[in-house]
Amino acid sequence: MMSSRIFYRFAVALLLMGGASASAQQVSINASFKPDSAHPLRNKFTNDTPSSGYCADHPSQCKDNDMFSLQVPIRAYSTEPIKANHASVRQGAMFDIPTQWRDLTVTHLGTAETKTLRVRIAGIGSTYRTDDIYKLVGPTDQLTDAHWKLWDGTWVNTPPPCTYSGVGFAGQYIYKFFWKTPTQGVCSRQAKYDIPWMRYDYLDFAYELETPSPLEMSTGTYIGTLTYTLGPGADFDFGDIMIPTSSTLTMNFELEVQHTLKVDIPPGGTQVELLPQGGWQAWLTQGRKPTRLFRDQTFNISSSSRFKMQMQCQHSAGDTCAVQDPSGNQVPLQVAVTLPYGLTSEGGRAVVRQPLRVSGVGTELFQPGIYVDRKPGTLHFDIEQGDVADMLSREAATYKGNVTVIWDSEVG
């Protein structure tokens, strides 16, 4: 598993003046996410699986309907003749397929973290093959007319609940078709002439995906499997006469997540000098003691991943850092962070002056709602009023200390 862990060490100093399966068919479906600075709001997986079958031949139809297709070498053969005017749809050409959404679990190969992926079958097609069409129905002017005579309707204008897809190609021994399946139900055609034998040459199916949010996933690879059954009464049901050559269709999913976590500090930004509001001039010229010493240091962050923040200290003061003078006198240094819009803490709260602790308490999880690309955040370094008074009570000295701020994408 790849992760990002970013360390910045800040040298903090101040001068006190005077003071982050059986017979089975398998297919592989691959999708990936990589943040794109040109489209920061596009936070979805890209299906990298080349389409075959319907979507390869009709890409615009699939793009418009956000679906994909695969053609697999599963055939179906008739086990007996199809009788003219058969009473049951199960004795002819029928399709009952799993159009409803199904959930499957994808698991991170490194951390065993799990997410839910959803799939539905959005279309079905093949090429049926049978005897010489003219031998079955007699002479007609056109091949398409002959195939229409063979059944109770055209295979282009499909029976409900299936819908039109624009595909229909007639040959003397074949007919190529594809039907969209927006809802669950049996789509069938009744034979009007006896058909001694029939075969589907392959299985062409369209599918839709609902992927989890990649911004809530860890960098790395997630895998999962979904298996459909085929045959009479199964998930893909072609009736009682047309029997498929495979009893299962297994989809193997692989989701690849490539996150960005990058923090840039401006040149010289790691040398932090704490000063009173307006500088030291008010004390030097008017004798007004400062009540607070501080410095706000900006940084730019790019993030598409969850991350946490922590601190490491050269000098510690409980759960925070400290600065120290040459005599060993210390005062606590308060460090906090403000993050840009698009990054929130647990519960979706904006991150404004969130204290940083050595233990990491309170900064265990920051979550992007969108891809944040080089947006400004702020680290706040403060010495509070009571500690400033303590420092001013001693001789003039320079207080120093190193603070390491960590942005860590390995959250778990």
Sign of the torsion formed by the C-alpha atoms of 145, 150, 155 and 160 = positive
- Indicate the helix (H) or strand (E) that contains 61: helix 59-65
Same domain, 198 and 63: yes
**Whole-angstrom Cα distance, residue 383 to residue 272?**
13
Residue after which a domain boundary falls, among 257, 289, 322: 257
DSSP 8-class letter at 58: -
DSSP 258-298: ---EEEEPPTTTTEEE-B-TT-SHHHHHH-PPPS-EEEEEE
Residues 40 and 173 reside in one and the same domain: yes
Is there a single domain that holds both residue 173 and residue 301?
A: no
Q: Is residue 121 part of a domain?
A: yes
Query: Is residue 29 domain-resident?
Result: no
Evaluate if residue 288 carries a pLDDT over 70: no
- The answer on 70 and 163 residing in a single domain is yes
Mean pLDDT calculated for residue range 184-209:
97
Beta strand residue intervals within 280-358, DSSP E: 293-303, 308-313, 316-317, 320-324, 330-338, 343-345, 354-355
Is residue 22 over pLDDT 60?
no
Q: Which of 93, 110, 72 is CA-nearest to residue 205?
A: 72
Q: Does residue 67 contact residue 53 with C-beta atoms inside 8 Å?
A: no
Whether residues 173 and 320 fall in one domain: no
pTM, full prediction: 0.83
Bridge partners (DSSP) listed for residue 302? 262
Alpha carbon separation from 391 to 206, 275, 288, 396 (Å, rounded): 72, 13, 15, 8
Number of other residues whose CB lies within 10 A of the CB of residue 72: 16
Q: Are 318 and 335 a contacting pair, CB within 8 Å?
A: no
Length of the chain: 412
Residue at 390 is within a domain: yes
Bridge partner residues of 277 (DSSP): none
223 and 109 in contact (C-beta within 8 Å)?
yes
* Residue 27: closest CA among 6, 49, 7: 49
Same-domain check for residues 270 and 162: no
pLDDT reading at 164 higher than 90: no
- Tell me, yes or no, whether 66 and 137 share the same domain: yes
202's tokens = 């392959």
The residue out of 212, 228, 257 marking a domain boundary is 257
- Per the structure, the count of domains in the chain is 2
Check residue 301 and give its pLDDT.
95
238/90 Cα distance (integer angstroms):
8
Centre a 10 Å sphere on the Cβ of residue 380 and count the other Cβ atoms it contains: 18
In the DSSP assignment, the letter for residue 134 is H
- Domain for residue 128, yes or no? yes
Q: What is the pLDDT of residues 230-270, one digit of tens each?
A: 999 999 999 999 999 999 999 999 999 999 999 999 999 99
Cis status of the peptide bond prior to 73, with omega within 30 of 0: no
Output the pLDDT for position 12.
65
Does residue 204 fall inside a structural domain? yes
- Which position has the higher pLDDT, 411 or 103? 103
Q: Is residue 285's pLDDT more than 60? A: no
The reply to whether 169 and 276 lie within a common domain is: no
Looking at the predicted structure, is the pLDDT value of residue 287 above 90? no
- Contact between 185 and 169 under an 8 Å Cβ cutoff? The reply is no
Of 223, 257, 291, which one is at a domain's C-terminal end?
A: 257
Q: What pLDDT does 351 receive?
A: 97
Which positions ≥6 away from 40 have C-beta within 8 Å? 370, 371, 372, 373
- Structure tokens that stand for 289 in this block: 């003691």
The answer on 120 and 191 residing in a single domain is yes
- At 332 the three-state DSSP class reads strand
In a domain, residue 24? The reply is no
Q: Are residues 247 and 293 in the same domain?
A: no
Cα–Cα distance, 67 to 206 (Å, whole number): 6
Whether the pLDDT of residue 212 is over 80: the answer is yes
Give the CATH number, domain containing residue 390. 2.60.40
Residue at 347 is within a domain: yes
Fill in the amino acid letter for 284.
L
Which of 122-131, 272-281, 316-325 comes out lowest in average pLDDT? 272-281
| 244 token code pair | 């498929």
Residues 220 and 275 in one domain: no
* Phi, psi torsion values for 18, nearest 5 degrees: 65, -10
Judge if 322 and 379 occupy the same domain.
yes
How high is the mean pLDDT of the chain? 90
Q: Is residue 284 part of a domain?
A: yes
Residue 66 domain boundaries: 36-257
- What is the spatial distance between Cα 373 and Cα 36, in angstroms, rounded to a whole number? 9
Separation CA 191–CA 84 (nearest Å): 5
- Is the pLDDT reported for residue 18 higher than 90? no
